[in-house]
Structure 1
Amino acid sequence: MIPFVKAHACGNDFLIIDEPLAQRRHADLARKLCARNASVGADGIEFLDRKPNGEFFLRLFNADGSEAELSGNGTRCVAAWLASSEGKRDVALGTHGGLRTCHVVEAADPVYLIESEMGVPRVMQRTIVIPGVGDVPGAMVNVGNPHFVLFVDTDDFSAHGHSWQELGAQISTSPLFPHGTNVEFVRVLSPSKIAFRIFERGCGPTTSSGTGTCASSAAAMVLRGVDRELTAIAEGGPQRTVWKSNDAAMQLTGPAEIICRGEVNGL
């Protein structure tokens, strides 16, 4: 049996498993345990590696078994778990997308409000061509993992005659992105507020995304001239971003909640 913790950030849910228990079966465990109707169910698994020197490193595997560089929401879920289980108010978590530091702003166990330093976003305006759709203007954004951000003005976030779910799936798996990409559909609501939808690489539509929040905010700040402090609203709820300048690290603030602890058959 494999002990696990389940947590979510705005509905974006993850299992947390100590690395030694994975026995190098990360992809298999992710496909098995993340299955919604046949197992625990989650968008992905954060494997927590505790180094002998006290440092932490996370490996994120999506529900389809693919490994991603990091998840902003997943990282925050792990920070919440370490606050709940070990009383850590400040923690640095290594990821394949870089070091992420998290600070607990408010704690009302099992819910934690956490501010995370998310690194320096890189935004590049680009128009891509999708078969059957045509030219799709947007921006490639890197926040430790890849994103393609589109701006829309429709209430249902549809674009180019397609639903955001359908177009998101096409873009996410396009050969233009050999390693795949996350896709966000962004509406600017006001100078201080945006709304967006997420098609997540390796998972599909999700209610929230920490890195997606950062990518959407960065693109809106650079290309639409919105405020450098934003409320970004996904289906799972709002998060707060602050990006003081293009060469500064972005700060992301949002909730994370511990759902349960348990054991599961990992065979």
Structure 2
Amino acid sequence: MIPFVKAHACGNDFLVVEETLAHDKHAEIARKLCARNTSVGADGVEFLERRDDGSYFLRLFNADGSEAELSGNGTRCVAAWLAYSEGLKQVTLGTHGGPRACTTVSCEDTSFLIETGMGVPQVHPQAVQVEGVGAVEGANVNVGNPHFVIFVDTDDFSSHGLAWQALGEKICFHPDFPKQTNVEFVRVLAPGHIAFRIYERGVGPTTSSGTGTCASSTAAIALRDCSTTLEATAEGGTQRVIWPTPADEMRLTGPAEIICVGKVSL
């Protein structure tokens, strides 16, 4: 039996497992535990390493067993668990996408509002030639992991005659992205508010994404002249981004909730 914690951020759910229990079987554990019909179910597993110097490091494995650089929502879920279980209201979590400093803004029982420093985003316009579709204009954004952001005007987020889920899958696995990419479809609702949908690398459509929120906001601020303080709404809820200048670190504030603690057989 393996102990786990389950938490979610705007419906984007993760399991937290101690790194010492992985025994180099991270991918196998993630695929097994994330299966929604036969196990606990989640979008990914955050393996939490507690280092001898007192620092923390996260390895994120998606539901398909692939390893990603980081998850903004997953990182926040781990920060919420450490705040709940150990009283750590400020904690820096190392990731393969860089360190992420998390601060608990408020909490009520198992529900937390957490601000996270998400690094300095990089963005540039890019067009992807999709077979049977043509050129898809968008923005290549790096927020510690890769994203391709497409602006849309449709209420259902469809683009180029395809549902966003279908086009998202085509672009995620496009040869231009040999390690695959996350894909966002963004509608600008107002200068200070965007809505988006996310096709997540290694998972598929998800209700929310922390790095997807940051990538969508980065493109909206840099390329659509949106406000540097921005509300970003996905299917699972709204998060807030602050990005004062292109040289500044982006700050992401959003909820995280502990769902349960348990043990599961492999």
TM range (shorter): over 0.9
Question: C-alpha deviations, 1:53-90, integer Å up to 9, x for none?
Answer: 11000000000000000000000000000000000000
Q: Report what 2:263 is aligned to.
A: 263
Q: Distance in 2 between matches of 1:45 and 1:55?
A: 19
User: Structure 1 residue 99 and structure 2 residue 102: aligned?
Assistant: no
In structure 1, the gaps of 5 or more residues are none
Aligned to 2:119, what secondary structure does the other structure show?
A: coil
Q: TM-score, normalised by structure 2?
A: 1.00
Q: What is the deviation of 1:129?
A: 0.5
Q: Which residue of 1 aligns with 2:88?
A: 88
Aligned residue number for residue 47 of structure 1: 47
Question: What secondary structure is seen at the aligned counterpart in 2 of 1:222?
Answer: helix
Task: Give the equivalent residue in structure 1 for 2:151.
Answer: 151
CA distance in 1, matches of 2:71, 2:151: 22
Partner SS state of residue 239, structure 2: strand
Match of 2:131 in 1: 131
Inter-partner Cα distance in structure 2 for 1:15 and 1:24 = 17
Larger CA deviation: 124-133 vs 79-88: 124-133
Provide the C-alpha distance between the structure 2 equivalents of 1:34 and 1:132, rounded to a whole number of angstroms.
Answer: 33
Distance 2:24 2:127 in 1: 39
Structure 1 partner of 2:195? 195
Counterpart residue type for residue 35 of structure 1: A
SS in 1 for 2:252: strand
CA distance in 2, matches of 1:22, 1:7: 19
Aligned position for 1:116: 116
TM-score by length of 1: 0.99
Unaligned segments of structure 2, at least 5 residues: none
Shift of 1:109: 1.9
Residue aligning to 1:229:
229
Distance 1:65 1:21 in 2: 16
Total equivalences in the alignment: 266
1:79 aligns with 2:79: yes
Q: Distance in 2 between matches of 1:10 and 1:193?
A: 17
- Matched with 1:35 is 35
Tell me, in whole angstroms, the C-alpha distance in 1 between the residues paired with 2:130 and 2:38.
35
Tell me by how many angstroms 1:245 deviates.
0.3
Q: Secondary structure at the match of 1:30?
A: helix
Deviation at 1:188, TM superposition (A): 0.1
1: CA distance between counterparts of 2:226 and 2:83?
34
SS of aligned partner of 1:120: coil
Partner of 1:220: 220
Which whole-Å CA distance do the structure 2 matches of 1:133 and 1:43 have between them? 29
**1:7: which partner in 2?**
7
What corresponds to 1:142 in structure 2? Answer: 142
